[in-house]
Amino acid sequence: MPVSTITRRHAARSVWFACLLALASTVPGLRGGALADAGYTMGSGDKIKVTVFGQANMSGEFSVAGDGTVSLPFIGTIRAGGLTVGQLQREIVSRLQPDYLKNPRVSIEILNFRPFDIIGEVQKPGSYPYRDGMTVINAIAMAGGFTYRAKEKEFRIKRANGAVEKAVRNTAVKPGDVIEVLERFF
């Protein structure tokens, strides 16, 4: 094979790889699943992985603190609570760009969502790790099932934003929710 053919193939692969990397840096929450893509806002207890391409010393795994902040190398403490993955990416890029890097590429993945809580008439009330796609009945199963006094068809959920909603068995659970299994009257 002539050298020029090999060089063209190598160049084409390099361009393809560069395009793939650029695309990956713009896709929020690759490991966070559908929830991260659906406008999920981060909060206390979430664990994220920040990758600054070509800068291993600026990349790593970080937890969102109780006050909604995360401490990153070089740029210090930054607010993450209440932001989506894309918003946090843009904020990190804006802080890196003027002082540290020329045209930084940043990717953020949600490694672990904050836990949800379940209280009331379940066998083991408490805090449990969130799994993507959970429903109220899945949460009850994780908490050991109903007690004999439980109202088994109606529940209450206090969302992370403070809103209180009535729920049924197939209502979606979100990270940070508090599920209350009510007591029946008879």
- The residue whose two tokens read 């994780």 is 142
Domain range annotation of the chain: 25-112, 116-183
CATH tag, 25-112? 3.30.1950.10
Whole-angstrom distance, CA of residue 65 vs CA of residue 89: 18
Whole-angstrom distance, CA of residue 11 vs CA of residue 56: 26
3-54: per-residue pLDDT in tens?
444 445 544 444 444 433 344 433 433 344 555 556 788 999 999 999 999 9
CATH number belonging to the domain at 116-183, selected among 3.10.450.50, 3.40.50.300, 3.10.560.10, 3.40.605.10: 3.10.560.10
Helix (H, G, I), strand (E, B) or coil at 176: coil
Query: Minimal CA–CA distance to 134: which of 95, 179, 171?
Result: 171
Please, which pLDDT band fits residue 101 given cuts at 50, 70 and 90? confident
Task: Give the gyration radius of the chain's Cα atoms.
Answer: 22
Q: Is the Cβ–Cβ distance between 92 and 28 less than 8 Å?
A: no
